Amino acid sequence: MDEIEKYQKWLDKQNLRRNPFTLEINPSIIVGYKEQITKLLKNINQQQKIILLTGATGSGKTSIVSYLTLTNKDYRVLNKPPREVSKLLNISSYFIKDLPFLAKIFVRKPKKIDDFPDFLNKIIKKPKVLFIDESHEASIEVLEWLRIISDQVQNLTIVFSALPVFNEILSKNLETLKKRIIETVELEALTKEEVEKLIRKRIETAGGTDIKPFTYNIIEYIYSRTGGFPRAVVILCNNLINLGAENEAERVDMNLISKKPPIEREKKLNIENLKDLSSKQRKIINLIAESEPLTPNKLINYFPDYPSEKHGLRAINNLLRRLVKEGYIERERKGKSYYYKLNPSTRTVLVRS
Ligand SMILES: Nc1ncnc2c1ncn2[C@@H]1O[C@H](COP(=O)(O)OP(=O)(O)O)[C@@H](O)[C@H]1O
Ligand SMILES: [Mg+2]
């Protein structure tokens, strides 16, 4: 029996039509991020002009944007901003399609970008939202025009979805645009319950039942290894499914892992990687660098924005877990508390940058 056949047979036995853990974007299997979604919708409903959705690669930005655009027909998404200003004119088609039949026929798209804000005001009659994914890839010129459009077009909310580096791009080149960002929504990580839900939803969507072939103790392991970071969860689950199939295991549990740990790619630390971190993660690294070792209870004092200390501690612990997993910091237990300090290579990078 060849490998593929063996794999398929194992899936069949688990009642799975296919591997549930591919990196597809499927808005119907979104879990968690309730607070962040509420915050986004609150600002959208207030018709704020510019909102920023940010988070590292794989934190779930594209997923949330696709989910939201499915829930409301007045939400539109541009999957990637154009590099050239003239291409911005293409956004018109998003709004022209809402016009009454006759208006749609007679409407004349502007040829010049200077006429674009006026034109949009004419065709956008009720509040619309434009999500722009991968906004960090926009050229400065395009961002400049998006700011002008946002200033001049009445019924339009723009939600930039971008990597954390977007903030630096704005600070360096576009202070005026940065000042207009009313709210920043940051995606960090899922809780353990949400990780379990993610796994269950994906397994059920692929035809399986509950979390089978996973067991509850392996969910604990998945959570602690990934810090609840969505893409990392999906990738680790994929590796574990493959491991189960290889071993023709009935259950993917801790026994299977102790036999053969899934290989994780080593992550090299470099300055680019530090830039990929969220602003909170970088803040944590800097705080630890200043006065290591630090406990989560000390760190929380520097993050006054959380609604309660419980919230804050949970969030900080999630951030710390992920930084440990990715090799930026190290954890040490002294008595009842955990102390965090920099990994030597992180220090080298900090000194260089
Ligand atoms: N809230 C979520 N619930 C379930 N799965 C998620 C969630 N967020 C992200 N994922 C999964 O994690 C992976 C990476 O998400 P993605 O939206 O592409 O992240 P980003 O756009 O921030 O890079 C995708 O496979 C997606 O299905
Ligand atoms: Mg994305």
Cβ(227) – ligand 1 distance below 6 Å:
no
Cβ(132) – ligand 1 distance below 6 Å:
no
Name the residue at shortest CA distance from atom 24 of ligand 1: 23
Cβ(20) – ligand 1 distance below 6 Å:
no
Cβ(226) – ligand 1 distance below 6 Å:
no
Planar angle of CA 265, 269, 272, nearest 5 degrees:
110
DSSP line for 246-300: HTT-SSB-HHHHHHSPPP-PPPPP-HHHHHHS-HHHHHHHHHHHHS-SB-HHHHG
Q: Domain ranges in the chain?
A: 3-22+191-259, 33-186, 271-352
User: Quick one: fold of 33-186?
Assistant: Rossmann fold (3.40.50)
Ligand 1 atom nearest to CA at 30: 3
User: Residue 14: what pLDDT?
Assistant: 93
Name the residue at shortest CA distance from atom 14 of ligand 1: 58
Name the residue at shortest CA distance from atom 26 of ligand 1: 25
Name the residue at shortest CA distance from atom 16 of ligand 1: 60
Cβ(58) – ligand 1 distance below 6 Å:
yes
Q: How many helices (H) and strands (E) does the chain have?
A: 18, 7
pLDDT along the chain (353 residues), means of 10: 84 93 87 95 96 93 95 94 93 88 84 94 93 96 96 96 94 93 93 95 94 93 90 93 92 81 49 76 89 90 86 92 89 88 79 59
Distance 248 CA to ligand 1 centre (A): 29
For 224, the 3-state DSSP assignment is helix
Classify domain 271-352 at the CATH class level: mainly alpha
Distance 296 CA to ligand 1 centre (A): 27
Ligand 1 atom nearest to CA at 25: 27
Which bound ligand lies closest to the C-alpha atom of 186?
Answer: 1
Cβ(30) – ligand 1 distance below 6 Å:
yes
Q: Residue type at 58?
A: G
Cβ(120) – ligand 1 distance below 6 Å:
no
User: Residue 101: what pLDDT?
Assistant: 84
Cα 52 to Cα 42: distance, rounded to the nearest angstrom: 13
User: Residue 266: what pLDDT?
Assistant: 44
DSSP line for 86-124: GGGGGGHHHHHTTS-HHHHHH----SSGGGHHHHHHHH-
Q: Are 318 and 188 in contact (CB under 8 A)?
A: yes
User: Residue 269: what pLDDT?
Assistant: 56
User: Residue 227: what pLDDT?
Assistant: 86
Backbone angles phi, psi at 266, to 5 degrees: -75, 140
CA 201, chain centre distance (Å): 18
Counting beta carbons within 10 angstroms of the beta carbon of residue 229, is it exposed (0 to 12), middle (13 to 18) or buried (19 or more)? buried
Distance 235 CA to ligand 2 centre (A): 16
Helices 192-205 and 216-226: crossing angle in degrees, nearest 10, is 120
User: Residue 263: what pLDDT?
Assistant: 46
Which bound ligand lies closest to the C-alpha atom of 233?
Answer: 1
